[in-house]
Amino acid sequence: MDFDSDVKAGSAKVSSLLRQARELSVHGNEAKARRFFDEALALAEANADLLGKGNALKGRGFQDALAGRHAEARLAYDEALALFRQGGHRVQEANALMALGNLQKHADKNDAKQFFEQAVQTFRALGMSEYENFARAALRDG
């Protein structure tokens, strides 16, 4: 296997781990989900996979938010957003902005509004009108 094949195989494994971790999180198996998120994060870091690392951090943020650990969730979402921007992953960037907006709407409505506005702009720039409308609704309801 060459380097590119190793990276592709690593990315597929990261995606698989993240799917399993999200499913476990939703069903309340926090400890096992965290292990999967951590394993995905380590594998993504080993493969210099910004997208995988960002998705693993966003997943951990989601898990932290579900558990009421809002400060930890904010840190994970912020780091994921930075990685998505660094890698030019605009769809994931917009989704991270939505996650940050949803997290902040109970703590700081102005902060939430800024995240939702950025998500609207990003979805619009990508031509994703359905998602843009969803972000607009969050902005209106925020």
Q: Tally the C-alpha atoms within 13 A of residue 114's C-alpha that lie toward its C-beta.
A: 4
Low-confidence stretches of the chain (pLDDT beneath 70): 1-10, 142
Q: Give me the domain span that covers residue 133.
A: 89-142
* φ/ψ of residue 48, rounded to 5: 50, 40
pLDDT confidence of residue 93: 96
Rounded Cα distance between 41 and 47, Å, is: 10
Q: Which two tokens stand for residue 8?
A: 């592709």
Residue 126 lies in a domain: yes
pLDDT confidence of residue 130: 93
Of 12, 37, 68, the last residue of a domain is: 68
Which residue in 142, 118, 113 sits closest to 132, CA to CA?
A: 118
Do 1 and 64 belong together in one domain?
A: yes
Residue 25 lies in a domain: yes
Residue 74 lies in a domain: no
Residue 97 lies in a domain: yes
